[in-house]
Amino acid sequence: MKILIVDDELLSRTKIRRFIEARPESFEVLEATNGLEALDIIEAQSPDIVFLDIEMPEMNGMDLVQAIGNPEFALIFQTAFSEFAVEAFEKNALDYILKPFNQDRFDQALDKALSRRTTDNQIQGLTQHLGQDKVYLSKVVVKRGVRNTLIPIEDVLWFKSENHYTYVCTKDFEYIYSEPLKELIEKLDPTLFMQVHRNAIVRMNAIKDIMQGDNMSLVLENGSEVPVSRSNKKVIKDKVLRF
């Protein structure tokens, strides 16, 4: 059975590895220092259990949860979040370990993971609670060949749906993305992004011009023209022009 430890702090990873080695069972232990590295390991190694830190550079635990989709492993958070946030996680995550923790608390979490796996509903509920805590995507994960690549959210001009695919559109490139717009919009900061059409979500400060008329459209900083649905015309005038 494989256990993946995801934490940017060497001391934290070493501590968890030591607790695992103290167990009577035999495990293969994998390590990742950030969420992007963890995503590559998850895709290549298919771990059974993942101990995931929340606050990490490059790609944090929240971004990783969003990118995972439907995991087939047991997910356990190890976090220094506030008591209020931990209570929210507890309702839907398989388990959490509040730092600092001891061997007994670690064993409780691992025993729970060995007895059952996380479900899709648990992950969906977790992301909903994270959303309620106003934690939004700071990066999106796209594929470039066989590698996962991080796109900072501030580099995204807009997201579009076309021919049954979702695309992340930056100044120079378009990347295929894994989630439909109707799910993606819930994970984006509403002060930065808005859905202007059923097939388009734009970053508001990327809008350079508004073409008004019977068919309104937005011109973005790279020259892309994005259609605006009739139902969003008033919102555009009120919100975007004010922005």
How far separated are the first and last CA of the chain, in Å rounded? 52
pTM comes to 0.63
In this predicted structure, what is the pLDDT of residue 88?
46
**Farthest-apart Cα atoms in the chain, separation:** 72
Reported as a single tens digit per residue, the pLDDT across 178-198 is 889 998 998 899 989 999 999
* Of 13-17, 138-142, 149-153, highest mean pLDDT: 13-17
Q: Which CATH superfamily is domain 151-242 in?
A: LytTr DNA-binding domain (2.40.50.1020)
Token representation of residue 91 = 């309702």
Distance CA 139, CA 54 (A): 14
Are 70 and 123 spatial neighbours (Cβ–Cβ below 8 Å)?
yes
Reported as a single tens digit per residue, the pLDDT across 55-67 is 887 777 877 877 7
SS3 113: helix
CATH number of this structure's domain 2-132: 3.40.50.2300
Q: Give residue limits of the domains in the chain.
A: 2-132, 151-242
Distance CA 136, CA 140 (A): 11
Distance CA 188, CA 153 (A): 9
The four Cα atoms 86, 87, 92, 98 give a dihedral, to 10 degrees, of 30
Q: Is the dihedral of CA 58, 144, 184, 53 positive or negative?
A: negative
Q: Who contacts 218 (Cβ-Cβ below 8 Å, separation ≥6)?
A: 196, 202, 207, 209, 210, 211, 225, 226, 228, 236, 240
